[in-house]
Amino acid sequence: MKLTKYTHACIRLEKDGQVLVLDPGTFSETGQALDAAGAVLITHEHDDHVDVPAVVSALEGNASLQVFAPAGVAAKLRSEAPFADSRIQDVEPGSTFTAAGFEVRTFGGQHALIHPQIPVVANIGYLIDSNVYHPGDSFVIPDGLSVRTLLVPVHAPWNKVAEVVDFVIGVRAPKAFPIHDALLNDTGLGLIEKHVKRLGAKYGTEYRHLSSGDSVEV
């Protein structure tokens, strides 16, 4: 499976001519990421994880594209793209389904707390082909299975370095790559990644930096 990272939280997966995209948000190169996509998975409603106009445009230009998202996000997309109503599916935690030829399992259900006065929204973590895990904005660890490739939210208003490291240690995936890094400059990113790489390695995780547009086989 080919994994390509785009700015911030957007990931494109390709195998056997099929394309699956996760979290094409407003910080990301959505046009490139969504090109010829068969399915889109959205973790939650925040703009940095779903660029609604871009997804609507993709639905309009690609009659086979399907979108899977928490109920609130799905309802918003249906209101903006009524022509694609049947291709927009609600997703809940604890479910399994197939999207563009990829096997998907869902976890979590709730966005990490930012502040007690900021409402908590629904958030779904997606495990793709029992391999790649995208947690969205949460540190929920998939239960009862092993993750081979972990996408790590390295920086956000809702996390700190200790929590990032503990998430990597808790999942113990052999491979890990960064997501949710658009708010960091090179200095800050390097500092956080140094800790994640060093401490993750003690527990069997090889952490590798990916810049936007970089691809890797997983």
β partners of residue 41 = 22, 68
- Residue 149: the pLDDT is 98
Q: Which of 206, 218, 129 is nearest to 168 (CA)?
A: 206
φ, ψ dihedrals at 5, nearest 5°: -95, 135
Which stretches of the chain are DSSP H helices?
Answer: 30-34, 52-61, 71-80, 161-171, 186-201
- Residue 75: the pLDDT is 98
CATH code given to domain 2-217: 3.60.15.10
Task: Please report how many Cα atoms fall inside a 13 Å half-sphere around the Cα of residue 38, on the Cβ side.
Answer: 13
Q: Which of 138, 124, 131 is nearest to 167 (CA)?
A: 138
- Residue 162: the pLDDT is 97
Q: How far is 56 from 172, CA to CA, in rounded Å?
A: 36
Q: Which amino acid is at 46?
A: H
- Residue 5: the pLDDT is 98
- Residue 195: the pLDDT is 97
Positions in the chain whose pLDDT score sits under 70: none
Domain boundaries, the chain: 2-217
- Residue 90: the pLDDT is 98
List of residues 6+ apart from 199 with CB closer than 8 A: 165, 168, 169
Q: Which amino acid is at 61?
A: G
- Residue 113: the pLDDT is 96
The helix/strand/coil state of 84 is helix
- Give the containing element (helix H, strand E) for 96: strand 96-99
- Residue 180: the pLDDT is 98
Q: How far is 22 from 67, CA to CA, in rounded Å?
A: 10
- Residue 178: the pLDDT is 98
Question: Can you give the pTM of this predicted structure?
Answer: 0.97
- Residue 18: the pLDDT is 98
Cα dihedral 40/100/58/17 (nearest 10): 120
Distance of CA 116 to the CA centre of its chain: 24
